[in-house]
Chain A
Amino acid sequence: MLTIKNLEACIEDKAILKGIHLNIKPGEVHAIMGPNGSGKSTLANILAGREEYQITAGSMHYQNVDLAPLTPDERAHLGLFLSFQYPVEIPGVSNLYLLKSALNAKRKHMGLEEIDAIDFLTVVREKMKLLHMDDSYLYRDVNSGFSGGEKKRNEILQLLLLEPSLCILDETDSGLDIDALRIVAEGINLMRNEKRSILLITHYQRLLDYIKPDVVHILSDGKIVAEGDYQLATVLEAEGYEPFLQKKAGD
């Protein structure tokens, strides 16, 4: 599904990713963990097509399509979704308008008719109920004046609405209290099926208690230094990143 080979990338001559290999099969949940500055968010942004990074080596293929030449919106239409670590505010644009435009952009790409306002409200309210969101979210400006937790919930709402085939969640757990984390995680778990892949990016094991990953990768200084199953996250939680970083230093 997603195949990353020897990916190297830099920003303004500063190397950030130094040879990433990653292979995610349909239906799998992978977690990437790592300390600050290890390149986790960079990887998420590069997958989504953020412009300021330069890819210097390697390749990324999604559903056998080379991602590199595609614009961010083309990648989105392939089914790639990024839940942002810091969702962006768009003053004057209602959340409702954004959600509807995004869904219609997807439908248009699929050759479907635009969804009308009434049907859309029915669909979006159903999803909002799952996330314990009330109608007021629809009429507020996109992320403007949202708390950290509200922004993250709004990201997951978009995820539920757009039903992507690859979900990249960049530190979705940060800014969420325990109750909100549980609600958001339940929303994500509803999305799990044998076709949809999920890539979780996180500092902490906490999120992984709710969404059990099939594979855990530990990223340090732009490289994956350890891989394992869910147990690896437990080890990490107990011992910290230090042993893994030392291991890398000893290579």
Chain B
Amino acid sequence: MTRPNETLETLLQQDYEHGFVTDIDTDTLPPGLNEDTIRAISAKKNEPEFMLAWRLKAYEYWRHLKEPHWAHLKYDPIDYQALSYYSAPKLKEGPKNLDEVDPKLIETYNKLGIPLKEQEWLAGVAVDAVFDSISVATTFKDKLNEMGIIFCSFSDAVQNHPDLVQQYLGSVVPHTDNFFASLNAAVFSDGSFVYIPPGVRCPMELSTYFRINARSTGQFERTLIIADKGSYVSYLEGCTAPQRDENQLHAAVVELVALDNAQIKYSTVQNWYPGDENGVGGIYNFVTKRAECRGHHSKISWTQVETGSAITWKYPSVVLKGDYSVGEFYSVALTNHHQQADTGTKMIHSGQHTKSTIIAKGISAGFAQNTYRGLVKVLAHADGAHNYTRCDSLLMGQHCGAHTFPYIESKNSRARIEHEASTSKISEDQLFYLAQRGIDTENAVSMIVNGFCKEVMKTLPMEFAVEARKLLGLSLEGSIG
């Protein structure tokens, strides 16, 4: 009666579904990083002087930094001089619509199940698709334009809305923030830019699919979202990547700003190549995501479902500056095989009567290590601050690990801070019970795990939740030892 385990074993060996490489000419800078590289990137992108100055400032700062190693992660040293810092698909001329986009790109998206055209017509989702480092297709621009909403590639924003970029770039994550954020500031090639004007409720989910494609190219996106007074936007970020032998560095920066009474909902489903079952290959995901509730009564929610990457180093945070502002963090981090995740959030209460909620669900299987690291900080003048945190870990098998590091720093004695944590295992009893009802192991595991993550999954927009449910099932199959 050992068959269920054997089934699990084979399921564990399942190949990464999105593993393929698109053969497209790329315009790639030679490996290496110095001042000239940065000047070259800036020149290629035809950037205004303030951008180059900012990049150079960041580079100068980064040169003197050491790579941080406080996280619960193990990996070989990264040779930053061996990476190429710019790779763009060769385009004869900038595409004016989808018909002008390289058919091979469209094919890639189709393989991923993201037919842009269909999405444009059917799903009502505007997709700003980042292929390697440059945006090649933007949809729904016109409709959004009518409402004054700006949703475009970062490069376009630099060209067309330099004032907004100059005003907000680095205002949440400064170029001096941390090693990876500084590197990003120096070399970032593209990303997404969103501006919602005062009082406007964005009528659709804005969505960007990232895809890392060129070999040995570090990917440095930068996203900046500004919700002006009384506006609302929901933004979706989803990622897949082709199979690789060598590790790929990914150091993105995401900055969100919510002004008075504005609301931003930022959802991520992250499914980058995690490496094979022996831990070879896979994406290194060192991301800095931070949001600022700058105005009173503003609200920012992060929801993330993290199933991919060999290494995840990521702490989407909220700085609650405005009075009565609200920050939320809902997270599912799933690690299997030799994946490592050190993720969590920071909630910084600075305004009065600010409120934050943290719900973190960690699932580890195989030989994976899963760490929740969170900081709740209440400043002295932040009267009426309230935080609720819950961290639950689910272990599958004997060789994985779950770790929780909740830091609490309160300088205000009247702050209310609640923390709950639990660790559990998927039990043989549960699996046997479901099997007895005719449900196979694969579906049983998926059912139990989705039940465990329910609170987080229900905060995802509908279409994303469906994808995320499937992902959890797929990433976990066969993880009972």
**Which residues in A have some Cβ–Cβ distance to B below 8 Å?**
48-53, 68-69, 71-73, 75-77, 81-82, 84, 87-88, 90-93, 97-98, 101-102, 105-106, 109, 141, 158, 162
Contacts and interface: CB of A to CB of B under 8 A. Distances in A.
B437 A51 contact: no
Q: Tell me what chain A mostly uses at the interface: helix, strand, loop, or mixed.
A: mixed
B442 to A, nearest CB: 10
A195 B428 CA distance: 32
Given A92-B453, A93-B447, A93-B448, A98 B437 contact: yes
Nearest to A109: B438
A102 B439 contact: yes
B4 interface: yes
A88 B429 contact: yes
A52 B447 CA distance: 23
A73 to B, nearest CB: 4
B452 A92 contact: yes
A73 B439 contact: yes
19 contacts: A49-B432, A51-B2, A51-B428, A52-B428, A72-B432, A73-B438, A75-B436, A76-B435, A88-B433, A90-B434, A90-B447, A92-B453, A93-B447, A98-B437, A98-B447, A102-B437, A102-B438, A105-B439, A158-B437
Contacts of B436: 48-49, 72-73, 75-76, 81-82, 84
Contact of A76 (B437, B447, B454): B437
B3 interface: yes
Given A93-B450, A93-B451, 11 more contacts: A49-B1, A51-B432, A71-B1, A71-B441, A88-B432, A92-B452, A92-B453, A98-B437, A101-B439, A101-B443, A105-B440
B430 interface: yes
Contacts of B438: 73, 76-77, 102, 105-106, 109, 162
A48 B437 CA distance: 10
Contact of B432 (A50, A101, A106): A50
A188 B452 CA distance: 33
B430 A90 contact: yes
B433 A84 contact: yes
Among A51, A53, A73, A75, find the residue whose CB has the most chain B CB atoms closer than 10 A: A73
A64 to B, nearest CB: 20
A52 B2 CA distance: 9
Among A51, A72, A76, A101, find the residue whose CB has the most chain B CB atoms closer than 10 A: A72
A52 B448 CA distance: 21
Interface string B414-434: 000000000000011110111
A163 B447 CA distance: 23
B440 A51 contact: no
Contacts of A105: 437-440, 443
A122 B437 CA distance: 20
Interface residues of B, number: 28
A73 B435 contact: yes
Given A71-B1, A105-B443, A141 B451 contact: yes
Among B4, B438, B451, B454, find the residue whose CB has the most chain A CB atoms closer than 10 A: B438
Contacts of B452: 91-92
Nearest to A164: B438
B425 to A, nearest CB: 13
A105 B434 CA distance: 11
Nearest to B452: A92
Contacts of A77: 438
A73 B429 contact: no
Given A93-B448, A93-B451, A101-B443, A88 B437 contact: no
Contact of B451 (A53, A82, A84, A92): A92
Among B4, B428, B432, find the residue whose CB has the most chain A CB atoms closer than 10 A: B432
Nearest to A50: B432
B431 to A, nearest CB: 9
Contacts of A88: 427, 429-430, 432-433
A16 to B, nearest CB: 15
Among A69, A87, A97, A105, find the residue whose CB has the most chain B CB atoms closer than 10 A: A105
A102 B436 CA distance: 9
Interface string B446-474: 01101111110000000000000000000
Among B1, B432, B436, find the residue whose CB has the most chain A CB atoms closer than 10 A: B436
Nearest to A106: B438
Among B434, B437, B451, find the residue whose CB has the most chain A CB atoms closer than 10 A: B437
A81 B2 CA distance: 20
Nearest to B5: A51
Nearest to A48: B436
A71 B429 CA distance: 15
Return the 5 tightest CB-CB contacts between A and B, nearest first.
A92-B451, A72-B435, A93-B451, A76-B438, A102-B437
B453 to A, nearest CB: 7
A88 B454 CA distance: 18
Nearest to B454: A92
B440 A73 contact: yes
Contacts of A106: 438
A87 B428 contact: no
A108 B455 CA distance: 30
Nearest to A101: B439
Interface in B1-18: 1-4, 7
A96 to B, nearest CB: 12
A88 B427 CA distance: 10
A102 B435 CA distance: 9
A165 B452 CA distance: 33
A115 to B, nearest CB: 14
